[in-house]
Structure 1
């Protein structure tokens, strides 16, 4: 069952006459699944793409390999391009891209520890990136990231 904030976010998106699409790396489809279980899903959810591996980011969403190599697959720069490309694919009014480190072994380092998540959100009135560090198991990190996405989308729609 979706969290309270995901349900509230879905209601807000529907009330604004918007729709939403996702480009998911770190959350691997879980965000789309959570939003699909809300009452408003048929009105708001355009779809989502799981782009967990770098080759999918490159081939399907046209993130230049040079950008991935320069900034790493888990970075705000890559996440921004994912959002922009997904927005074109889905013709969505709201597009969310998410990358990050939910398990050990990615591009983690002292400045970007395990639990670091990058968000890039495009709405009808603005585009913005966000970085946050979450704690817990991979599932807890993913669920916190989904709730944070809902919070960020609502803030951008309500003002």
Structure 2
């Protein structure tokens, strides 16, 4: 994980790009990991932990009907929190993540625990959008999602 984040950090600095995060399921882990490489202040703008659906609605502007129809842990809500983040933090890349690292959310047989949704917007346009199922304990799922997000960023920035 650390190596891919370092590579992404290097590319962001070289291309003079900035990044911000809206995190639900990862609860700030993405922003924390991206703050570790040298010169993080050159690319990392910040992030918002929006674990509770009320924050998704009240701060990021996600419509109640979108949450009710699709659940807080969904592709649609992930896109909406990423879109809402653009209004709060000025950055070149905005990344949103929601999902189910542990039981107690909207899990179903079609959306089991471990399902994570990642959406990124670069300069106002969708950069990538992915649903992936991870396995393991909650921390392993979160670390997997952070690593996968770094890999997606690396792949799409190169």
Normalized against structure 2, the TM-score is what? 0.96
Of 12-21 and 119-128, more deviation after overlay is shown by 119-128
Deviation digits for residues 72-111 of structure 1 (CA, Å, limit 9, x no counterpart): 0000100001111112211110110000000101000011
- Counterpart residue number, 1:138: 138
* Counterpart contact for 1:11–1:40, Cα < 8 Å: no
Q: Does 1:82 align with 2:85?
A: no
- Cα RMSD between the aligned structures? 1.2
Counterpart contact for 1:94–1:121, Cα < 8 Å: yes
Aligned to 2:63: 64
Indicate how the Cα distance of structure 1 residues 134 and 101 shifts in structure 2: closer, same or farther if over 3 A, else same: same
- Unpaired stretches in structure 2, ≥5 consecutive residues: none
Query: Residue 26 of structure 1 contacts residue 142 of structure 1 at CA under 8 Å; is this kept in 2?
Result: yes
Deviates more, 1:130-139 or 1:119-128: 119-128
Give distance in 2, aligned partners of 1:82 and 1:156: 20
Match of 1:123 in 2: 122
CA apart distance, 1:4:
1.1
Report the CA distance between 1:124 and its aligned residue.
3.2
Q: In the aligned structure 2, how far is the partner of 1:126 from the partner of 1:148?
A: 20
Provide structure 1 residue ranges, at least 5 long, that are not aligned to the other structure: none
CA displacement 1:22-54 (0-9 Å, x = unmatched): 000000011111111111311000000000000
Query: Deviation above 3 Å: which 4+ runs of structure 1?
Result: none
In the alignment, the residues of structure 2 paired with residue 153 and residue 10 of structure 1 have an alpha-carbon distance, to the nearest angstrom, of 10
Partner of 1:92: 91
